[in-house]
Structure 1
């Protein structure tokens, strides 16, 4: 664990969702598998593995679906991905996801205790994720986490997703927080890039996805093993 963070105590926290608060690989796997089953060959027979999901998540629903379809095509020597197929797949995915959201996912160890600690110290929190806002709210509600957050910013709440800084700046503006006093807590380089552009200090947990790459290479200000280890006291 590395919790060296040369920043003032936070005014508020922005927390990522998938890979930071909840392990949602199982949800994604199920939704994608059911999506593919509605598509023609060769998509319908493709088996989605958890490792594939881990490498693809983090940049929003459309990126997830497009990337998986491209993988299926490459595995069959195909090169042209028709836009009509992408739209058909997205429609199927969005239809299936609400029915499995939260059913194949688990809250990471230390998350509940970490959020409770922040709440007890009077530190306000917002969830900033690339998951569509309604799915994010439903998942947080299902896992008993929604009540910790003053605001949920999803991938469709504003015009651009992380790694663009817009979702972070929207949260700060809405809640009246100064970005320099607002910590972003996530699991990937996506969170680091967005936080840097927004002017927020950024901490990462090591157990998330980070597009299949080592989180230590993402260049965060600090790394913590669990949310229980957030260095909230003044240095």
Structure 2
């Protein structure tokens, strides 16, 4: 690993695709939502490239995808009334099943333990709503590792904007150049680069359907345990 971790004092860790494989949760909640709206289901493989930019982007993308199958003309319509109903039903279903169809990736607990043993301060920063992120971390036994947890609604802007990373560094009391970003997508890498944080990405997560090897990072990890 080319990154010199001797100068690292803290780590900001992404959630979906980095610590927890949540694609099953997304599929269950989204298909429950679609059924409530009288729309056909969506395959998990179609959902995966849509994950990572926040729930608003996810829902808009899913509705566009499904409506295009029903009626191509409808897919181009910006129907805010439908979106509002979809958001309400999505929240209902996601909170009901949160964590039931997801699993912690191998090596995550070992990696978090290693970072703790080094004395690093740890924060979880995700574009997932905070109301979804906190129960998921608790359900998977990961909440105790983090002194701070920030969801996509915690700040004015989401990753790939650098603001959430800068705010998280401030909350941790660390400088960006000494705070490692650990994620799975170009959203994490772009945010880290703009904030001045070193960044490592895992090779197994969700990167909008693109190869993670093409992203500008300080290195790739097959497992957080390799830290």
Q: Which moved more, 1:161-170 or 1:69-78?
A: 69-78
Question: Map of 1:1-235 to 2, 5 A cutoff?
Answer: 3-5=1-3, 8-40=6-38, 44=39, 46-75=40-69, 76-78=71-73, 79-230=76-227
- Where in structure 1 do 4 or more consecutive aligned residues deviate above 4 Å? none
- Indicate if the aligned counterparts of 1:8 and 1:181 stay in contact, CA closer than 8 A: no
> Structure 2, unaligned stretches of length 5 or more?
none
Whole-Å separation in 2 of the counterparts to 1:72 and 1:186 = 29
Number of residue-to-residue matches in the alignment: 224
Q: Which moved more, 1:86-95 or 1:7-16?
A: 7-16
**Helix, strand or coil at the partner of 1:184:** strand
Whole-Å separation in 2 of the counterparts to 1:10 and 1:102 = 31
Whole-Å separation in 2 of the counterparts to 1:7 and 1:120 = 13
Show CA shifts across 1:31-87 (max 9, x none): 0000001114xxx2x222111121111000010000000111222312213111111
- Indicate if the aligned counterparts of 2:35 and 2:41 stay in contact, CA closer than 8 A: no
Whole-Å separation in 2 of the counterparts to 1:35 and 1:62 = 14
**Helix, strand or coil at the partner of 1:14:** strand
> Structure 1, unaligned stretches of length 5 or more?
231-235
Q: What is the Cα-based RMSD across aligned positions, in Å?
A: 1.1
